[in-house]
Amino acid sequence: MGEDAILKDNGLSANEINHVPRAGFWKSFKIKIETWRHNPLLLLSFILFILFVLTALWVIFATIVWPVENAEFFRQRIPIDQRRYIEVWGPTIIPDDKEFVDVQFTLHQENIIPIPVSVELSMPRQFVIVSPTNEQSRSTVIKFDKRSLEETQTIRVANAHIVNGLGTEARMVYVTQISESNRGLDSFALTAEGSLRAKLRNYGGSNGQIPLFPLTTLFLSVATFIFQEIGRRRKEREDKEKEKKKEREDKEKEKKKEAEDAITKQREKAKADLINIREALQQMRIDDAQAIIKEIQQGDIRQYIEKDLQIAQGLVAMALGEMDSKPSAFPPDQWMKEAASVLLYLAEHNPKDRSKLEKILREFPLDQVEDSDMRKNLETAKSIVSETKTPAQTRAPLYPPKRQFQKFAPPIEYFDHNPFPFETAEEDECFLFTEGNALFWSDHPLTKDLKSARGATLVTGEAGIGKTALAQALGNYRYVLVDPRSFSIGLQGIPTLEDICEKLARRLLDFVERLPSFLILLNEEQRSLLGQTLIATLDKGTVIGRLGLASDTSKWNWLNDAGSSEEKRKIWKAEASVHLRMLLDSVSNSTPHITSNRQWALAFTTCLRSLGFENAVYIAIDSGENFNWDWYEETILDHQYYWKDLDLHSITFCPSEKVGNSRKQIGTVKSFELKWDEKQLEKWAHWRWESVYGGARKEGVLFDRDPLQALLKASRGNPRCFIRLWNALARSKQKLTFTITDIKKAKEQIDCS
């Protein structure tokens, strides 16, 4: 610390500090004098410190050092001759505060000598002898006249009180033998105590006394020092407190300023973020708005825009399909543009619940939307969702792939395509059930009966009679017979019940994949039941994978075929996409809970009704040569009691010889036999011909009336036999017309058994 700082701490003003001399020792000394002059307590502290030190020394010397010294004794031999000596014993120091002290002289002799011994003591002036004569003198004679080996004489010596100060004076005492020659024997030392020392020793508490005066002085000095120290420390503490208080105040001011600056920055950031949120909502960048809101929630600025943030959160949740989370007042005040954009985004991307969306659009003030394009799009969305759960797609059936008609080989004059190219329904499937011009003839009388059959139905017939084609029409391609709202499947051979359930589930999954817009017909419970039904029979991974592929909107050609405006297609696409996604989530989160075949059938038919399939469900089985009664009873008949209650029916096709003549096995099963007469076969042939070439070309071009009848008769009411004869004629003759002779030749070439 500098000198100026020291002076300033001791109360000197700046002017006084400037007048303090600055030169060497005198400079330092005068600085201290000036310091003490301006700070008497500092001088008092110094004096008390010195007094404390001196008093402490006084107590130490008065109670310890000096009493110890005064308690020391000396012992000295003074020889007289070879057989005698005098031993002197006494205190080393003669105290100033005592009347006298005893000094002993003892004569020691080896043999008793009858001659007495006398010695003279010569004292210095610092001492006086007060005995044995009781007169104060500086010399005395000690006589040893007893005849013994040891004789002791005592004299009393007092301090002459001529030594002052704190010290002592040692002087020699001379011993002289009184005889004829007065021979000096020896000397010994005595020390006289100073009078000041004796007084200090007495006041200091020697000889077991309590040193009241020094203790009082000591206590006073200590108390004063302590008081001064306490005052000094208090002042230092107060100064430090003041300094700390000032620092705290400065820090608080700084913190307050920083806090105010931070609050200002936070407010500005909150406003900027709110502007960004509103811009993102207006531009339908919902993900960006959601990201900004999430960042705000994790920070400290939400308190500045709490109300607006709640509105923004509600709008974002609404845009993501959570329509129940929309702001209580919709559209919110001053948020018209954002609300309109969010509403359009909801309609175009997440229309999960058409009824809720329709209600929101109906109540929304479209006339207040300033953007004309936005208003037009919202009006379009409103018109779409106002249609009570009407899917964007029609119930288009699953058609077989298209194929070109085969040409005659070799070619026939005037004709290119062969109307009867294949003998089996499996080969002819693409033409029998093709889109727009199916060649299946549905006017056979048995077809009409089977379309509305109930319960278990058994259809028999010979080979080539058309059982497989009819089974396909009633199973996989029922649309050629009845309303597309009928659901049916076709199977080959003798499937197990598990195979039937799997085929039903796959057919249902095919429907969902092809026509995802129908999922809008389902509510949450129905969607969950659909997922449960699918994974109870099909592998869960398979279902998830197929639904995932079906969610690829780039392959949705039906959108392009739907026509209408771009906005409508966008909303239809969003509806189908979001409902597919919800079904996919439902399947992913589901575990199979359906435990019995009856429960599964009930769940399956419930799903069909939810998707608008109002008619009965049909299972058409072309069992062929594999048919047997054990399988039929176990797989079909044993489940009829609950299938019938669920409006689920079966039609089984088998060869006539497999049924036999025993009708008792059939029981309640309805049995039909498929057969053709010539009239029905002729109508069927005309139907195929006209479906390929149109009504302008009559049979007379190919046949005269009699040859046609001959061909029909030769076919024996069997369509396959007719097709074989026809193709044999086509191969044998390329010039028209065909004659009866041609037919006979063809019949000879083929086997119609």
Q: What is the pLDDT of residue 604?
A: 94
Question: Given pLDDT bands bounded at 50, 70 and 90, which one contains residue 468?
Answer: very high
Is the confidence at residue 21, as pLDDT, over 60?
Answer: no
3 state SS of 491: strand
pTM across the whole model: 0.61
What are the two backbone dihedrals, phi and then psi, of residue 628, each rounded to the nearest 5 degrees?
-150, 155
Q: What is the pLDDT of residue 215?
A: 62
User: What is the secondary structure of 631-690 as a DSSP string?
Assistant: HHHHHTGGGHHHHTTTTEEEEEEEEHHHH-S-GGGTTT-EEEE----HHHHHHHHHHHHH
414-436 per-position pLDDT tens digit: 677 888 888 898 888 888 888 87
Is the confidence at residue 1, as pLDDT, over 60?
Answer: no
What is the distance of C-alpha 187 from the center of its chain? Answer: 106
630-650 per-position pLDDT tens digit: 999 999 999 998 999 999 999
Q: What is the pLDDT of residue 736?
A: 67
What are the two backbone dihedrals, phi and then psi, of residue 169, each rounded to the nearest 5 degrees?
-125, 125
649-700 per-position pLDDT tens digit: 999 999 988 886 544 455 678 999 999 998 999 889 888 888 887 754 444 4
54-91 per-position pLDDT tens digit: 777 777 777 778 887 777 888 988 888 888 888 999 89
What is the distance of C-alpha 612 from the center of its chain? Answer: 44
Is the confidence at residue 722, as pLDDT, over 80?
Answer: yes
Give CA–CA dist 434/399, Å, rounded. Answer: 6
Give CA–CA dist 152/132, Å, rounded. Answer: 13
Across the strands, what pairs with 649?
Answer: 618
Q: Residue 318 class from Cβ within 10 Å (0-12 exposed, 13-18 middle, 19+ buried)?
A: buried
Most confident of 142-146, 333-337, 547-551: 547-551
Q: The dihedral of CA 467, 468, 473, 475: what is its sign?
A: positive
Q: The dihedral of CA 474, 479, 483, 489: what is its sign?
A: positive
Q: What is the pLDDT of residue 7?
A: 47
Q: Are 587 and 540 in contact (CB under 8 A)?
A: yes
Please give the share of the chain, as a percent, with pLDDT higher than 70.
Answer: 86
| Residue corresponding to tokens 């010695």 | 119
Give CA–CA dist 415/411, Å, rounded. Answer: 7
Please give the share of the chain, as a percent, with pLDDT higher than 90.
Answer: 21
Question: Given pLDDT bands bounded at 50, 70 and 90, which one contains residue 6?
Answer: very low
Mean pLDDT, residues 32-51 taken together: 67
Who has greater pLDDT, 254 or 135? 254
Q: What is the DSSP secondary structure assignment for residue 463, as one 8-state letter?
A: T
265-288 per-position pLDDT tens digit: 888 888 898 899 889 988 888 899
Is the confidence at residue 207, as pLDDT, over 60?
Answer: no
283-338 per-position pLDDT tens digit: 888 899 889 888 888 887 878 888 888 888 888 888 888 888 778 788 888 888 88
Q: Average pLDDT of the chain?
A: 82
Smallest Cα–Cα separation from 725: which of 702, 747, 700? 747
Most confident of 42-51, 264-273, 527-536: 527-536
Per DSSP, helices labelled H in 283-335 are 286-298, 306-319
Q: What is the pLDDT of residue 591?
A: 81
Q: What is the pLDDT of residue 554?
A: 85
Q: What is the pLDDT of residue 478?
A: 87
Containing 429, the helix (H) or strand (E) segment is helix 425-432
Q: What is the pLDDT of residue 493?
A: 94
